[in-house]
């Protein structure tokens, strides 16, 4: 029984790492950077060209991230079951509000985040028992 908990915990850490990075790539491509928008509007022709190239690269990264997320979830379903996919999706959904806050206000202001954002941690930790149930009870 203790090995089940240890295996589940390390599996949860792997899901956490992969899911957070994939959703981070996807969300960062969706939200435009206001500094680059400002440079594109006020800069020289060279800066405007670089800003357009940056936007194009962001769109490509966004498409690649979406394809990787779908492939990741399909692989989880193929090799394990739907419960593991649900745990991964819970982690991804829980990360989105924190990521948007971080993108808007910066990492330095994470401590000033409203408590409602901290509730997303409950969803992230809630994925741990869901993962255990998916691995050993389904």
Note the pLDDT tens digit of each residue in 67-98. 999 999 999 999 999 999 999 999 999 988 88
Which residue in this structure is represented by tokens 């000033």?
Answer: 112
Say what the pTM is.
0.82
- Structural domain count, the chain: 1
Helices then strands, each counted (H, E), the chain? 6, 0
Range of the domain at 123: 2-136
pLDDT band at 30 (very low <50, low <70, confident <90, very high): confident
Angle at 13 between CA 67 and CA 102, to 5 degrees: 65
Q: How far apart are CA 3 and CA 9, in angstroms?
A: 10
Sign of CA pseudo-dihedral 115, 24, 18, 72 = positive
């Amino acid at each position: 029984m203790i090995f089940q908990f240890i295996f589940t915990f390390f599996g949860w850490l792997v899901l956490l790492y992969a899911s957070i990075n994939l959703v981070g790539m996807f969300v960062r491509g969706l939200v435009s950077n206001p500094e680059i928008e400002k440079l594109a509007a006020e800069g020289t022709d060279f800066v405007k060209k670089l800003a357009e190239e940056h936007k194009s690269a962001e769109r490509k990264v966004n498409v690649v991230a979406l394809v990787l997320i779908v492939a990741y979830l399909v692989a989880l379903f193929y090799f394990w079951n739907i419960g593991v996919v649900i745990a991964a999706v819970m982690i991804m959904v829980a990360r989105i509000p924190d990521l948007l806050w971080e993108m808007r206000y910066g990492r330095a202001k994470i401590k000033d985040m409203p408590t409602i954002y901290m509730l997303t941690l409950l969803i992230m930790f809630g994925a741990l028992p869901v993962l255990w149930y998916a691995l050993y009870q389904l």
